[in-house]
Amino acid sequence: MTAKDPCLALLVCDISIPAVVKDHGEYPMIFEKFLRASLPDRLSAFTLDSYDIRYAMEYPKEDVLDTYDGIIISGSAASAYEDFEWVKRLVSWVATLATQRPLIKIIGICFGHQIVARALGGKCVSNSGKWEVAITEVALTDLGQRIFGAQSLARSASPRICILDDNIQQMHRDHVPVTPPSFHLLGSTAITENQGMVLFSDPGAPLPTLDAPIPQIHVLTLQGHPEFTADIVKEVVKARSESGAMDRETAENAWPRADWHNDGVSLIGKAIWRVLLSAPKIG
């Protein structure tokens, strides 16, 4: 851990719907609350600078970029495979950041997860129009289980997937169909194979055995939204179902699950901070 308080940059890829803004604020406030709620006990403060990369095309200037411990890329209602100018610029910027600033951690959330994949040798596509919404159980790989600090009492028939799940709020119908080169899968659902992935600081490092320390992580991405609360998800579901963007069956199925147990702060947020603070060993 550095001597100074952690300094983070949030790349804001969209604006929240009015109902969410009214009760929860824009993305910077939502992420601020999430990061503070999951802050390690040994820390009391951090800085979160926000950049509107969609509408203002703002990015950290070169003279301040190296002051950041990590860059967080937010979600968006846009699709990461679209070739809008702001999307192409973001893909290019992330690719440059990852290769030229290896000490800056990169965290991708939903749309951010998909952008990272596109920037680093993978792709994002429509998931055949299938929505994945509200709290969803993610079956963790061995690596995912260790990174998120979960404990499992049993193992499935597959040596790659553990019985234990973690629960995360979802709001997407695009996905990353194949894990990009050098990335390692963290978990899957029936709808979305790639629910999260990591790239080690040494891309050539092999997947660690269960009794070996996990190499330092450079990039961590999640298809779900650990920063979303049940109320936020309900507001988004209501807005998208009323507009016709989301079908009635998906919306009705999402309502009860929005209130299920959420590991966004207790497991996933804590893991994000461990990556951002460059802990030499995880698990």
pLDDT of residue 82: 96
32-50 per-position pLDDT tens digit: 999 999 999 888 899 999 9
When the pLDDT of each residue in the chain is averaged and rounded to a whole number, the result is 91
2-28 per-position pLDDT tens digit: 458 999 999 999 999 999 999 999 999
164-173 per-position pLDDT tens digit: 568 999 999 9
User: Could you tell me which of 81, 177, 169 has the C-alpha nearest to residue 132?
Assistant: 169
pLDDT of residue 150: 66
Tell me the C-alpha to C-alpha distance, in Å, between residue 271 and each of 28, 55, 198, 206: 20, 30, 12, 20
Query: How far is it, in rounded angstroms, from Cα 35 to Cα 48?
Result: 9
Indicate if the pLDDT at residue 283 is higher than 50.
Answer: no
191-223 per-position pLDDT tens digit: 999 999 999 999 999 999 988 999 999 999 999
- Give the pLDDT band (50/70/90) at residue 66: very high
Indicate if the pLDDT at residue 149 is higher than 50.
Answer: yes
Question: Per-residue pLDDT averaged across 128-146, rounded?
Answer: 93
Question: Per-residue pLDDT averaged across 213-242, rounded?
Answer: 96
Please state whether beta strands 7-12 and 47-52 pair in parallel, antiparallel, or not at all (unpaired): parallel
Helices 230-243 and 248-257, axial angle in degrees (round to 10): 170
pLDDT of residue 111: 98
- Give the pLDDT band (50/70/90) at residue 151: low
pLDDT of residue 4: 81
Indicate if the pLDDT at residue 244 is higher than 70.
Answer: yes
Question: Per-residue pLDDT averaged across 114-143, rounded?
Answer: 95
Query: How far is it, in rounded angstroms, from Cα 181 to Cα 184?
Result: 9
What is the percentage of the chain residues whose pLDDT exceeds 90?
Answer: 85
CB distance 73 to 109 below 8 Å: yes
Query: How far is it, in rounded angstroms, from Cα 264 to Cα 55?
Result: 28
Task: Supply angle C-alpha 86, 241, 18, rounded to 5.
Answer: 55
Task: Supply angle C-alpha 117, 70, 192, rounded to 5.
Answer: 30
Domain boundaries, the chain: 7-126+174-229+264-276
Question: Per-residue pLDDT averaged across 102-127, rounded?
Answer: 97
Q: What DSSP line would sit under 59-84, residue for residue?
A: ---HHHHTT-SEEEE---SS-TT---
42 Cβ neighbours under 8 A, 6+ residues apart: 1
Residue type (1 letter), 153: L
DSSP 231: H
Question: Under CATH, which architecture does the 7-126+174-229+264-276 domain have?
Answer: 3-Layer(aba) Sandwich (3.40)
